[in-house]
Amino acid sequence: MNPFGTALHAFFYKCLSFFVSSPNSLFGMGNPLLDISAEVDKDFLDKFGLKPNNAILADESHKALFEELIGKFPAEYHAGGATQNSIRVAQWMIQKPEKVGTFFGCIGKDKFGDILKKKALEGKVDAHYYEQEEEPTGTCAVCITGDKRSLVANLAAANAYKKDKHLDLEENWALVEKAKVYYIAGFFLTVSLESILKVAKHAAENNKVFCLNLAAPFISQFFKDGLMQVMPYVDVLFGNETEAAEFGKAQEFETEDVEELAKKAQALPKENTKRPRVVVFTQGKENTIVAQSDNKIDTFPVLKIDPKDIVDTNGAGDAFVGGFLSQLVQEKPLERSVEAGHYSANVVIRRSGCTFPEKPEFH
């Protein structure tokens, strides 16, 4: 029995019938960061005012955090940044052809920037970075306590992305036009709203699929205006239960029920009415909630995992989105996208950082 019903099948096949998994058909734009990951203790979190399962931007109070993280705990370095992670996972799930995923973001001309370029190359992602010398490549402290993670992002170069210096260039915009599916995490709202809107409007005007992630509670709290400027263009909205609750609070939805929050987010005004919005909210080990048109909710159980097999949940959300996008761009039904998201997340949480084996075993 198809849990989505024939109507949703028909909708998605109709919308995606012209899609092929060809080079540059999936486009991502965001903050490329080098993750510095370590298992820490509660005292470390308390010292820097951090909460488990949260993400914030670094400020003056976090100046010593990065040095202490490296000096006090055994740290690992991984290519990071939410959108870049998801594009890397999508490409890993697709395998061939290479460079289905395109990624734009800003880095510094430095050692960390070179590492990110190398990782993109290894991951077969077609990364086109805006490289500048004023700011160093951004970093993200990934502070792990048990199966929870607290992220502190020092955007640095990532915050220096310029629409007129990169996105507007003819050769770069040609790559945007080549894509059929677009994905941007809400974190990029803090960097270049005008770049997001240019891409989102292009998607709506050409009946392509634009996807956005709520990313972190602080986005709904402090970047609400920018978020709601982009929302009418969003065809697929991602988030977890914490982000959904904060979004609901900011929108005065007057409910904390995740299914109701998904329904209300789905019903927000939309620019391209040819595509009903789909809202996908994950809930850790609990069922994933999917809201679609006609007030319809579907729930999907995640893959079971023994808690002792969980190494690092940092990349779980990014991996879920990457798996989802890998099927979306290949014309697969929506439930298949959710299954791929669950599979990718299940693989990544067994490893350190948003990393994965050479090939997926998703059939």
Q: Is 318 a catalytic residue?
A: yes
Side-chain-side CA neighbours of 316 within 13 Å: the count stands at: 24
Q: Can you read off the two tokens belonging to residue 13?
A: 């096949």
For residue 267, what are the CA distances in angstroms to 101, 228, 289, 296? 30, 13, 15, 11
Quick one: CA dihedral 147, 45, 318, 232, positive or negative? positive
Place of tokens 């955007």: 155
- Catalytic residue chosen out of the listed positions 35, 235, 298, 318: 318
Contacts of 88 (CB under 8 A, 6+ apart): 79, 101, 119, 120, 123, 125, 322, 354
In 3D space, the residue among 275, 277, 276, 246 whose CA is nearest the CA of residue 261 turns out to be 246
Alpha helices in 257-315 (DSSP H): 258-266
- Cα–Cα distance between 275 and 180 in angstroms, integer? 14
What count of other Cβ atoms lies within 10 Å of the Cβ of residue 98? 13
- Cα–Cα distance between 218 and 220 in angstroms, integer? 5
Active site residues: 318
